[in-house]
Amino acid sequence: MCRECVHEFCKDRGTTCLETGVYYINLKGCVECSTRGELAKAECKREEDEDGAEEISFEHRCSKCDHVVAKHTYSFSVDDGYQEYSMQCGLCGTGSDSRSVLPDDPHRG
């Protein structure tokens, strides 16, 4: 991951969790070739375990010189009646969210 290509490394995004996509507003440009153009996404690696927990990871790369700007990881699972989401990426930021699968969320009274 490259801290020099982004304005704010691992920006706190609150409950925003991107499975795919990119947070372009945080991109300064490629430090290797000075391009502010499009980013290419390396092939997604998708893993799922027997409980249905899912993790998706890929790299944001400069489309001109192939420099790795950031590694993006997104995860989803269901735990004790809650859908749990998280994102970790130097460019897109960090975020997590938890949503009840029940009609009335016991934690939100």
Q: Each residue of 56-106: pLDDT tens digit?
A: 999 999 989 999 999 999 999 998 888 999 999 999 999 999 988 877 766
In this prediction the pTM is 0.86
Instruction: Say which residue the tokens 């460019």 belong to.
Output: 91
Domains annotated on the chain, with CATH: 3-102 (2.60.40.4240)
Neighbours of 24 (CB within 10 A): 11
Interatomic CA distance for residues 28 and 49, integer angstroms:
36
How many other β-carbons are positioned within 10 Å of the β-carbon of residue 12? 9
Token digits of residue 67: 């420099």
5: phi then psi, degrees, rounded to nearest 5: -85, -10
Q: Which candidate, 86, 49, 89, 96, places its Cα nearest to that of 69?
A: 89
With cut-offs at 50, 70 and 90, classify the pLDDT of residue 42: confident
